């Protein structure tokens, strides 16, 4: 696919996504690498724009340069934003109470702590990303090491085979001390995310390195 066609597809996907106001988002495409520019009114909208671009076939990489401008709302002080972040982390039953701490500086939130599963870390980032007043989120939460079954690789490969959305034959899985490496080729960025999710769902996994390439 040539860059002009890919740019048109990206523009159409951003316009199609109802959670995004694409009026102030600029798009550049160079050899399948998409650069997002401009500004949006919330960090959640910035993340939604990135996810929308990842859904487009032919996108090889994304340079995310969108700025968050909190227009139309009063600026939230960092201490108030930190209190709201702490409350929402406590209220989410999928996140172990007290396992994740939030630090706020100029509207940017850093998440620290340790959890048993990657989905708990992802849930924390999702909740904080949707708080009004947040300009950015850095997720530094770690997945704790724990006794792992000896068949992690086999479990991941079976999960990939079960997925109707991923061509598992093109993915090679290797595991060393709970650290998973994914290699091979996939057709779309979404396939990479499915493969990563399958890897993180295996018990005993503490890190996933995605070396998959888009065809």
What pLDDT was estimated at residue 74? 55
What pLDDT was estimated at residue 76? 73
- Mean per-residue pLDDT for 85-101? 93
Domains 3-68 and 152-214 share a fold: yes
What pLDDT was estimated at residue 91? 93
CATH number of 3-68: 3.30.1340.30
14-18, 35-39, 67-71, 115-119: least confident range: 67-71
What pLDDT was estimated at residue 69? 85
The secondary structure of 102-133 as a DSSP string is EEEETTEEEEEEEESSHHHHHHHHHHHHTSTT
The residues spanned by each domain of the chain are 3-68, 78-143, 152-214
CATH number of 152-214: 3.30.1340.30
Gap between the terminal Cα atoms of the chain: 11
Kindly give, in sequence order, each residue whose CB lies less than 8 Å from that of residue 22, ignoring residues fewer than 6 positions away.
11, 14, 15, 49
CA-wise closest residue to 141 among 98, 174, 180 = 98
Residues 76, 46: Cα–Cα separation, whole Å: 18
Where do we find the tokens 């048993």? Answer: 116
121-174 residue pLDDT tens: 999 999 999 898 899 999 999 998 776 667 888 888 888 887 756 666 678 898
Q: Considering the chain, what is the average pLDDT of its residues?
A: 87
Q: Are 86 and 98 in contact (CB under 8 A)?
A: no
CATH topology of domain 78-143: 3.30.1340
28-79 residue pLDDT tens: 999 989 999 999 988 999 999 999 999 898 888 899 999 888 765 556 788 9
Q: Is the pLDDT of residue 203 over 60?
A: yes
Q: Are 135 and 68 in contact (CB under 8 A)?
A: yes
Higher pLDDT, 165 or 3: 3
What pLDDT was estimated at residue 99? 93
pTM: 0.71
């Amino acid at each position: 696919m040539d860059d002009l066609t890919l740019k048109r597809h990206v523009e159409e996907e951003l316009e199609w996504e109802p959670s995004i106001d694409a009026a102030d988002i600029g798009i550049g495409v160079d050899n399948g690498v998409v650069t997002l520019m401009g500004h949006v009114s919330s960090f959640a909208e910035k993340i939604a724009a990135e996810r929308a671009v990842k859904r487009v076939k032919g996108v090889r990489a994304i340079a995310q340069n969108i700025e968050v401008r909190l227009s139309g709302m009063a600026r939230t002080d960092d201490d108030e934003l930190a209190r709201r972040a702490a409350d929402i982390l406590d209220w989410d039953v999928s996140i172990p109470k007290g396992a994740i701490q939030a630090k706020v500086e100029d509207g940017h939130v850093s998440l620290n702590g340790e959890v048993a599963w990657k989905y708990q870390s992802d849930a924390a980032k999702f909740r904080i990303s949707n708080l009004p007043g947040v300009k950015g989120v850095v997720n530094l939460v770690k997945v704790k090491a724990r006794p792992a079954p000896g068949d992690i690789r086999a479990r991941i490969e079976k999960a990939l085979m079960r997925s109707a959305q991923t061509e598992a034959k093109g993915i090679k899985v290797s595991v060393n001390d709970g650290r998973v490496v994914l290699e091979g080729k996939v057709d779309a960025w979404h396939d990479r995310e499915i493969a990563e999710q399958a890897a993180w769902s295996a018990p005993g996994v503490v890190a996933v390195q995605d070396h998959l390439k888009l065809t």
